[in-house]
Amino acid sequence: MTGTPWLHRFRPVVAPRRTLVCFPHAGAGAALYRDWDQHIGRGDELLAVRLPGRENRFTEACATDAAAVALPLCDALIRLDRPLVLFGHSLGAALAYATARALIAAGRPPERLAVSGRRAPQVPLRRPHTASLDDDSFRARIRTMGGTPPEVLACDELMDLVVPMLRADFILSDGFADPNPSPLAIPLLAFAGIGDAEVAVEDVAAWERVAGAGFALHPLPGDHFFLHQHRQKIVETILPLAF
């Protein structure tokens, strides 16, 4: 337990020296990061963000605005009172960025921000908004993206449950933008899938404009969901043992 519905802890850590906060992609929940905990070093802690509308928050309305996530998360993270590292993939990267901005505005900046599989906030969306598609086209789009279990895609009852959540997530993801971002006064790392058909490596590299205290781009083999096969490398890169 973390004392807040926004954060989920997979294992207790006594007096952690720093906390890695992981934000899920569209359609996912905190459980996405369950296996990442095994790559966390001794004395470190992983907390996964649990968004409204899924898992044990299933009855809550899904967020369609980044501020509705970033502001309550900022309050919860400040109460932890320890060094923070933020990581997010795809939609999660946009939410991690918005939360980092909120923490900086509150005078409690994270140690670093790591983004993955997401265009920089000033880069425009290069495809039609997914949430505007009709139901059949929306479901077809979800299938082509990958990332959704085949057993869910094959079950109309399950899809009827998850499609409203996915539509809300895509409203949030596709609509998020920061056309003229000021540089963040924290280091920024970016991970890109070399074979990602959703987000080009150069659009991930454009995060350098937001980085005001150092930037590194890490292209990795794989499609849009490359984070699954490279989770150990990603964790070791953003949360080095020497601290």
**Active-site residues: which are they?**
90
Please list the alpha-helical segments (H only) found in the chain. Answer: 67-78, 91-105, 135-145, 150-153, 156-175, 201-205, 231-238
The partner residues of 89 in beta bridges, in order of sequence, read 116
* Per-residue tokens: 71: 């502001």
* Token representation of residue 175: 């609509």
CA 95 to chain centre: 6
Fill in the DSSP letter of residue 184: B
Element (H, E) at 217: strand 215-220
Burial of residue 179 (CB within 10 Å: 0-12, 13-18, 19+) is exposed
What whole-number distance in Å separates Cα of residue 96 and Cα of residue 150? 28
CA-based angle 85:88:90, to the nearest 5? 160
